[in-house]
Chain A
Amino acid sequence: MYQPMLFLHWKQIRMVLGLFVVAAFALPLIAVEGLGTPPGMDAVSLNAYRTLSAFQLWLPFFPALAAAIGLTLALSSWNWDHQQNHVYALSLPLTRWEYTIQKMLAGVSLALLPAIAFWLGAHVAAASVSLPAGLHAYPNELAARFFFATLLSYAMLFAMAAGTVRTTLWVSGVTFGFIFFGIIANDVLANYVDFFSRVNVVEEVYEWIIHAPGPFEVFTGNWSLIDV
């Protein structure tokens, strides 16, 4: 029973959420606008076409929008708590876990709204384009990717937003430190140990996190509405 959390979150964010819903619906439509229906297009030349078409320009906006929604939801989840130093939360007859999970569920519920709008937009966009043989539209898959991308960014940032400024600085600091000093250390060690001259540890970790099948792949993978 997380109604109060949902209500409070809604109260804070309803204006911005409305804008996101509109954007989520519109984005797929805008993206396909540049996609004409030249006759005789087949799978092979689609690749070439892709690199030229304006559609390519819009692709990064999908994950960006998902991340933006996640960020906004995360920050607004905890904004009011931070303002009054969590006093209200601590005085309620809920365990911290119950409180946190209810808050999170509220955010997830709200994330559904732009996700559904995006799903609708993707369907309308797919329907408005007549596709040559060999090409298919994947509005459901894309909408699912969008929803998961939103949830992922929400979840990560939710955890950070819950903490104090100090926690956030710690997390950012450690991450940045690892990257920065890791690269330097790698370069230095490359002079002494053969392994490091062939392998850049930081880069490998990065590749593994970003591209391997896993959470981050949601962001860096294929955001194409239309594909072979």
Chain B
Amino acid sequence: MNSAIELTNVGWRAGKSFELKDVSLKVPMGSIYGFLGPNGSGKTTTIRMFMGMLKPDCGHISILGASVPKDMKSILARIGYVPERPHVYPALSVGEQVKVHASFYRLWDQGWCNELMDRLNLDATQRISRMSKGETGKLLLLLALSQRPDLLVLDEPTDGLDPVVRRDVLSAVLDYVSETSATVFISSHLVHELERICDWVGVMDDGRLVAEMPMQHFKNGIKRLRVANAPDTVDQAPFTLLGRHRDNGVGSLETWVVRDWEAPMRHYFDHVGATVRDVIDLDLEEGFVELLRSSRPQHKKGS
């Protein structure tokens, strides 16, 4: 078993409005996998699918080597889940919710839980209905981590949280991973956060997985090129052209956005009589935007 999560050709449709189309996703064991995508792209639906909450119309899902939904009970015992919307009971206190949660998990570590409660500044006597969004977020993470899971599934865990709480949440996750080599699946639209911690990235758009690759490859591989005397057609290129457009009024200068770029590919341009004036690095967010822009059907192409 070298995948913590594996979806193969998963499809799902809900009425006419939304569907997942042929999603094949692979999360390597022990990795921190960032799941990116705009709102409505199907991230939460995909998560619900491998958590066994939704049944796919077609395709196969396996988690930690076991089959969904056949072995769901044993799988869920090893997953720490932080959903988008809090699933704790508002009428309980923190301490009560912890006790309830602990009773379901054999591997529960109360010592670790106490330490985390301390670190995350949570008060066991506080009523959950009176807690702020940040404190609730921290509680959800506390519950998930104290289970000592093999897989952490975090759906927008830091959304709407202030920077201090975000740091606490991420630190706690990273601390856990250092100690246990657990796998983390984190869905977020806060691209900057993912940039630091993820070693794999998957991008969803409109119900489809449009890209999946190591983070380094994603960051380094997507570049903006300033090209002079650009050829009209691009064939046999070693890189993938995501999009091109002519710069305003500046002769024959074009801006190309490419993927899977490597430095020696400059020579391609020499062969076609063009020159690369500049290779501009894109950060994760910009690369992500370019990737999405290119993967969507365009009504007006390029220049």
Contact residues of A with B, CB < 8 Å?
Answer: 1, 3-4, 7-8, 11-12, 80, 84, 87-88, 90-95
B51 within 8 A of A: yes
Q: For chain B, what secondary structure do more than half of its interface residues adopt (helix, strand, loop), or is it mixed?
A: loop
A91 touches B103 (CB 8 A): no
Q: Which residues of chain B come closer than 8 Å to A80, judged between CB atoms?
A: 89, 91
Chain A residue nearest to B78 in the complex (CB): A93
- Chain A's nearest CB lies how many Å from the CB of B46? 15
Give the size of the chain B interface in residues (CB under 8 angstroms).
25
Among candidates B51, B73, B100, residue contacting A94 with C-beta atoms closer than 8 Å: B73
B103 touches A12 (CB 8 A): no
A87 touches B73 (CB 8 A): no
Among candidates A7, A12, A88, residue contacting B87 with C-beta atoms closer than 8 Å: A88
Chain B residue nearest to A1 in the complex (CB): B103
B77 within 8 A of A: yes
Q: Which residues of chain A come closer than 8 Å to B92, judged between CB atoms?
A: 11
Q: Which residues of chain A come closer than 8 Å to B86, judged between CB atoms?
A: 84
B87 touches A4 (CB 8 A): no
Q: Which residues of chain B come closer than 8 Å to A95, judged between CB atoms?
A: 72-73
A203 to B299, CA, bound (A): 67
Chain B residue nearest to A86 in the complex (CB): B53
B91 touches A11 (CB 8 A): yes
A87 to B96, CA, bound (A): 19
Q: Which residues of chain A come closer than 8 Å to B51, judged between CB atoms?
A: 90-91
Q: Which residues of chain B come closer than 8 Å to A3, judged between CB atoms?
A: 103
- Chain B's nearest CB lies how many Å from the CB of A57? 38
Among candidates B83, B85, B99, B104, residue contacting A93 with C-beta atoms closer than 8 Å: B104
30 A-B contacts, Cβ less than 8 Å apart? A1-B103, A4-B100, A4-B103, A4-B104, A7-B96, A7-B99, A7-B100, A8-B89, A8-B100, A11-B89, A12-B91, A80-B89, A80-B91, A84-B85, A84-B86, A87-B53, A87-B83, A87-B85, A88-B88, A88-B89, A90-B51, A90-B52, A91-B53, A91-B76, A91-B83, A93-B75, A93-B76, A93-B105, A94-B73, A95-B72
Q: Which residues of chain A come closer than 8 Å to B74, judged between CB atoms?
A: 93
Q: Which residues of chain A come closer than 8 Å to B99, judged between CB atoms?
A: 4, 7
Q: Which residues of chain B come closer than 8 Å to A4, judged between CB atoms?
A: 99-100, 103-104
B185 within 8 A of A: no
Q: For chain A, what secondary structure do more than half of its interface residues adopt (helix, strand, loop), or is it mixed?
A: helix
Instruction: Find residues 81-136 in chain B having any chain A CB closer than 8 Å to their own CB.
Output: 81, 83, 85-89, 91-92, 96, 99-100, 103-105
Q: Which residues of chain A come closer than 8 Å to B77, judged between CB atoms?
A: 93
- Chain B's nearest CB lies how many Å from the CB of A10? 11
A91 to B73, CA, bound (A): 9
Q: Which residues of chain B come closer than 8 Å to A8, judged between CB atoms?
A: 89, 100
Q: Which residues of chain A come closer than 8 Å to B53, judged between CB atoms?
A: 87, 90-91
A8 to B79, CA, bound (A): 23
- Chain A's nearest CB lies how many Å from the CB of B73? 5
The 3 closest A-B pairs by CB, nearest first: A93-B77, A88-B87, A93-B76
- Chain B's nearest CB lies how many Å from the CB of A2? 10
Q: Which residues of chain B come closer than 8 Å to A94, judged between CB atoms?
A: 73, 104
A80 to B88, CA, bound (A): 10
A11 to B128, CA, bound (A): 14
A1 to B51, CA, bound (A): 24
Q: Which residues of chain A come closer than 8 Å to B88, judged between CB atoms?
A: 88
- Chain A's nearest CB lies how many Å from the CB of B104? 5
Q: Which residues of chain A come closer than 8 Å to B96, judged between CB atoms?
A: 7, 11
A4 to B77, CA, bound (A): 16
Among candidates A7, A12, A87, A92, residue contacting B76 with C-beta atoms closer than 8 Å: A92
- Chain B's nearest CB lies how many Å from the CB of A8? 7
Chain A residue nearest to B79 in the complex (CB): A91
Chain A residue nearest to B53 in the complex (CB): A90
A3 to B75, CA, bound (A): 22
- Chain B's nearest CB lies how many Å from the CB of A48? 53
